[in-house]
Amino acid sequence: MLTVLPIQSKDTQKELCEKCGVIYNENAFAYRADDGDFIGICQFYFKDNNGYIENLTYAPNVSDWEAMIIMLRASMSFMYRCGINLVYLSNSTDEDLLKRSGFLKNNDGEYYIDVQKFYGGSCCH
Q: Domain of 109: which CATH number?
A: 3.40.630.30
Residue 83 vs residues 73, 100, 102, 117: alpha-carbon distances, Å: 15, 23, 19, 12
> Structural domain of residue 73, as residue ranges?
3-120
Structural domain contains residue 99: yes
Structural domain contains residue 75: yes
| pLDDT at residue 76 greater than cutoff 50 | yes
Q: What is the pTM of this model?
A: 0.89
Structural domain contains residue 125: no
Structural domain contains residue 48: yes
Query: For position 13, what pLDDT does the model report?
Result: 98
User: Residue 75: pLDDT band by 50, 70, 90 thresholds?
Assistant: very high
| pLDDT at residue 7 greater than cutoff 90 | yes
Structural domain contains residue 53: yes
Number of domains in the chain: 1
Query: For position 125, what pLDDT does the model report?
Result: 47
Nearest to 52 by CA among 117, 112, 118, 96: 112
